[in-house]
Amino acid sequence: MVKVLYFARLREALGTAGEEVALPASVTTLAGLRAVLSARGGAWSEELAANRRIRAAVNQIMADEQTAIADGDEVAFFPPVTGG
Amino acid sequence: MTVRVQTQDFDASAEIGALRRGNPKVGAVASFIGIVRDVNEGAVAEMALEHYPGMTERAIEEIVTQARGRWDIFDALVIHRVGTLKPTDQIVLVVVTSGHRGDAFAACEFIMDYLKTRAPFWKKERTPSGERWVEARTSDDIAAERWRLKG
């Protein structure tokens, strides 16, 4: 299982702040997880579509599509940041 | 290095005093304060700031560590507020101490530019016509990009 968190606009659109997701054996990267979530349809497909500008972190460090993920990781998806 | 994420306001003068106290080698202090404006792409009545607890502190510490590696600075402080803020409220404080102004100015600006594009905060504005998430600005990406080290 990986812990998946959603922030800001994504959290609101998806209706959840986070969940535990069982990783299919074939999923080893952030891009793979994004595709699994996106395949749920509805808001998931819309918000996590490949052309949507979203950012992600793995174990609280900014990550990219190719970043490896494994059981026990904390993954977060969020819009580009707007602090400061 | 001190990094704080908090809902309460801060006293910039007291924070600057505390950061440089006891170090007679400090010859320069650069500071930046970000303030909530009453207008962005429309009137703003109020703003809600959320963040990713844990990652936020870690991301800012990483930015300060990079600044320390690039400029000759003694210490740095970053305070960022979260929660509900109103126009004229202070949002963020960055303070850098150094022997000379060049390093202090550069490190302070670098920390702010990187914080804008790498620290996980999100702003939602409450306007007379409803709520809206603030969109990231390309100008912030360009500002951060200026600091990239030429390979």
pLDDT exceeds cutoff 70 at A10:
yes
Q: What is the pLDDT along chain B (151 residues), one digit of tens a residue?
A: 999 999 999 999 999 999 999 999 999 999 999 999 998 877 888 999 999 999 999 999 999 999 999 999 999 999 999 999 999 999 999 999 999 999 999 999 999 999 999 999 999 999 888 999 999 989 998 999 999 876 5
Residues of chain A with C-beta less than 8 angstroms from the C-beta of B133: 8-9, 79, 82
In tens, the pLDDT along A14-51 reads 999 999 999 999 999 999 999 999 999 999 999 999 88
pLDDT attached to residue B150: 66
The count of CB pairs under 8 A between chains A and B is 73
ipTM here: 0.94
- Please give the Cα distance from A55 to A83 (Å, whole number): 14
pLDDT attached to residue B115: 97
Q: Do B54 and A7 touch (CB under 8 A)?
A: no
- Please give the Cα distance from B43 to B125 (Å, whole number): 9
B54: nearest CB among A53, A60, A62: A60
A8: nearest CB among B54, B58, B133: B133
pLDDT attached to residue B19: 97
What beta strand segments (E) does chain B contain? 2-6, 28-35, 46-51, 73-81, 83-85, 90-98, 121-127, 130-133
pLDDT attached to residue B43: 84
- Please give the Cα distance from B134 to B132 (Å, whole number): 6
At residue A11, the 3 state secondary structure works out as helix
In tens, the pLDDT along A61-72 reads 999 999 999 999
The answer to whether A76 contacts chain B (CB < 8 Å) is yes
Q: Do A61 and B50 touch (CB under 8 A)?
A: no
Does the pTM exceed 0.90? yes
pLDDT > 70: percent of chain B? 99
- Please give the Cα distance from B148 to A10 (Å, whole number): 29
> Residue B68 pairs with which residues in a beta bridge?
none
pLDDT attached to residue B148: 87
B55: nearest CB among A9, A60, A79: A60
B51 and A83 Cβ atoms separated by less than 8 Å: yes
pLDDT attached to residue B126: 92
Residue of A nearest to B78 (CA): A84
pLDDT attached to residue B151: 56
- The sign of the CA dihedral B125, A77, A63, A4 is positive
